[in-house]
Each structure stands twice: as C-alpha cells, then as structure tokens.
Homo-oligomer: A and B are copies of this chain.
Amino acid sequence: MFGARCLLRALRSCSSAPCPRHKPSAKLSVRDALGAQNASGERVKVQGWIRSVRSQKEVLFLHVNDGSSLESLQVVADSSFDSRELAFGSSVEVQGQLVKSLSKRQNVELKAEKIEVVGNCDAKAFPFKYKERHPLEYLRQYPHLRCRTNVQGSILRVRSEATAAIHSFFKPSSKIKVPEENFFNVPVFLTVSGQLHLEVMSGAFTQVFTFGPTFRAENSQSRRHLAEFYMVEAEISFLESLQDLMQVMEGLFKTTTMTVLSNCPEDVELCHKFIAPGQKDRLEHMLKNNFLIISYTEAMEILKQASQNFTFTPEWGADLHTEHEKYLVKHCGDIPVFVINYPLALKPFYMRDNEDSPQHTVAAVDLLVPGVGELFGGSLREERYHFLEQRLARSGLTEAYQWYLDLRRFGSVPHGGFGMGFERYLQCILGIDNIKDVIPFPRFTHSCLL
C-alpha cells in the first residue's frame, strides 16, 4: 500500500477525439500555477500533497499544496476518479489544463486529465485531521510532520523569507544598484558564531556579519529560550557611537520586516489572524514609529516609580528581568525601546568603558520589543589597549585573551556590533507566543525529539 503508484486514469482527452501531438506538460509549482496570467487551457503538471477532497455528484474537487504558497491549487476532476485513493495527506501528480476558474475563490484551477497517487496516506494513523485546526501545542508533538500544516508551512516560509531578507540587508545583490550609505558590502561568513571572532574580521574588513546556529546550555524552560537558536551578528569598524549602531539595528529590523510583509503577506496574515489577533496593528505601530532610546539609569528610575510590584526590586546595578522589560516596553507605548549605558559591573570585559562616575557604565545597548523583551544586544567594544588590559587583568583573563589584546596592538579601530536572536525576531513579527513554534526542530532542556 505504501508508496504505491496507482495510475488512476489515462488521458481522457484522447479517448473520443484524435490525440493531438503536444509538448509534454510543463511542470509548475502551485505558486506559479496560481499566478498564471490569462490561463487558457495550457497543459501543465503539478505535484504535491492533497489538503482537501470534496466530492459532488459529477465533480470532484481537490486542493493540492506543494509548500510554494499558503494557497492550494484547486483541481477539478470528474467523479469517475476514485476519491478513496485521493485522500487527505496523499501525494499526487496531476496533469491537466490550467483554466480560469468560475468561482470567485480562485483565479485559476486545474482541469485534471490524469491523476497519479504517488504515496498514500494512512488517514486513521495520520495525526492531523481534515478540516481541523490543531493548536500549536498539539502540532509540537509531531516535529516530523507538522510542516505539512498550513500554520507551520506559513511560519517556515516567513522564516525562509526573513533569512533571505537579512542576507539582502547586509549584502545587496550586485545586480541591484547599491545606495552609498549601504553597509556591509563585504560580509564575512564565519563558521563559529561569536562576536569576538567577528572582531578579528573587523580588523581587516569594515563591515562583517554572520548568521548561523548558536548553542546555549541554559537550563531554561521559558517560552523565549532554546538550547539551539539562530543568531544574526554584525560588527562595524570605525564606528564611534551607540547612535550609529542603533541606526543599523533599527534598519535591520524594519527593512527585514517590510520585505517579509511584502513577499509573503498571506503567510503573515494567517498568523496575525488566527494565532495573534491584534498583532497586525501592533506591528504597524512598531514600524511607523521611531524606536525610543532611554538610558539604563532612566529605565531604573521609571521602574522605581512604577505602581507595579515587581518580584525583583529594581535597583541601580541590578539586571533587568523579564517583568521589568515588559513594563518598560508598555511604559514606552509598545514601541521598541533601546536601553543604553549599563553598569560596567553587569557587562563583559569587552564593552567600552564610558569613563563616567559615580555610576560607572559601559556603552552597551539592548533593544526591548513588545511581547518578546530583549531582541538585540550590542555594544561599542573597548578598542583601547590599556583599558582592555586592565579589565582582563582584573578578571584574571589576560593570558587567555592575549590574541584579543593583539587586535588592539596592531592598528586598532573604534568598533561596535550587535546580535539579534532570529527566533525571537520571528516571534515578535508574527506574534507567536512560544519560541518552539518558530524553529523547525526545537532543542531545549531535556528535550531533543528527533
């Protein structure tokens, strides 16, 4: 039964009339078939999976999807086709004529001449049921099958578009005229994700970025953490202010999001409509407003004056917790907010000393966004040899980081960079509550399904 290939019917058009010699049917993706202008009977071949079957007296309607778009292609067959074989979840190859549809629901449909069942689907055992909308938690139990559902298909297409948009942001295609202010004409792809390694590269290339998996052994079960996640990291040489850095961060967020919204509107809409009602407006609000900037010190003042009771009492020198991040974003009118200049004692040795007092800070920046909290983290890096040397000595790290000090001995430049958690970005634009739903194979503490 499985993997059986049963040829249901030969070309019907040949049975009564002489069979015209025509070219073999052009293979089309569902997306291209749906986008066909002025469909007028071209012979095409479409392959995919059956998403629905509807049997009427004389006619059988199938919807076939191949992952190229959210929308499926309607296939119209006469009722002589065996609808038992043509079951939900089966894979099929359909040949026929692409014609204008009479219904308003779609522009084109495929008038089937030949339908081949490529692989059957055991409907009883298949965990997804026809016409049922399964909750994301339910789908999560089937990491190997959930990409066959509408919602996961949409999320994965958005993920793919966002990935491409991020690459384009940093490295516009050479075929497109690049405006002068465009950054990152020479990206460098690294094998290891890590800012210190990007800093090595920024000693020879003035704009570098990397995008790849990052691993953290955090023992967290939160809806915002994974043991393996994707990170976009960028480092810019000859950069002297957090303002310049924040401009790139805001540009990356907004440009990527606009590209995604323009390239896969239906997929985004599906999420906004069924998973996160209201998210469309929230996202537009973020896109059309300038992100805000407050200092860590100001943030602490705001928190101290809050009427809300926090689990962790806000206090200068202490970390910002999730509850604080949420409050700050809300306080700022649900617009993403940059928090800058954190206490030196809170941050790693490589962040640039602001040389202020009595509240000693470094030029660090985090971007907090509605729903997700911290999305970006970045800083100016300490490019001054003696400052860095002293910080390392204080931490007993001088020997291990001799190579890092070298970067400051030989043609050091002021520089800064940031990292953006890619899954959190997807959560933020789509309004997906749990991070495990925006990555194909989530790995987290005590769980490694597949």
Contacts and interface: CB of A to CB of B under 8 A. Distances in A.
B147 A186 contact: no
Contacts of A409: 2, 121-122, 125-126
Interface string A257-295: 000000100000000000000000000000000000000
Interface in A209-248: 212-213, 228-230, 237-238
Interface stretch (A101-109, A159-167, A300-308, A315-323): A159-167
Chain B CB count within 10 A is highest, among A168, A190, A192, A205, for A205
Given A47-B206, A203-B148, A213 B192 contact: yes
Contact of A174 (B50, B204, B263): B263
Contacts of A204: 49, 67, 147-148, 152-153
A7 interface: no
Contact of A411 (B120, B189, B408): B120
A450 B212 CA distance: 19
Contact of A160 (B47, B186, B383): B186
Contacts of A360: none
Interface string A129-171: 0000000000000011101100011001101100110011001
Contact of A167 (B145, B167, B403): B167
Interface stretch (A85-93, A343-351, A362-370, A371-379): A85-93
Contacts of A22: none
Interface residues of A, number: 91
A390 to B, nearest CB: 13
Contact of A26 (B93, B174, B180): B180
A247 to B, nearest CB: 14
A192 B228 contact: yes
Nearest to A152: B204
Given A206-B48, A439-B191, A118 B414 contact: yes
Contacts of A47: 206, 237-238, 413
A41 interface: no
Contacts of A125: 409-410
Contacts of A49: 203-204, 411
B157 A192 contact: no
Nearest to A230: B191
A408 B119 contact: yes
Contacts of A263: 174
A82 interface: no
B171 A164 contact: yes
B411 A229 contact: no
A412 B238 CA distance: 54
A383 B192 contact: no
Contact of A157 (B143, B152, B186): B186
Interface string A175-199: 1100010000111111110001100
Contact of A119 (B175, B213, B411): B411
A385 interface: yes
A189 B120 CA distance: 28
Contacts of A412: 2-3, 91, 118-119
A383 B3 contact: yes
Nearest to A168: B173
A410 B129 CA distance: 12
A89 B410 CA distance: 6
A160 to B, nearest CB: 5
Nearest to A202: B67
Chain B CB count within 10 A is highest, among A48, A157, A384, A411, for A411
A29 interface: yes
14 contacts: A3-B383, A67-B205, A91-B412, A93-B238, A118-B238, A118-B414, A126-B409, A145-B410, A147-B201, A160-B188, A167-B167, A191-B229, A191-B440, A197-B450
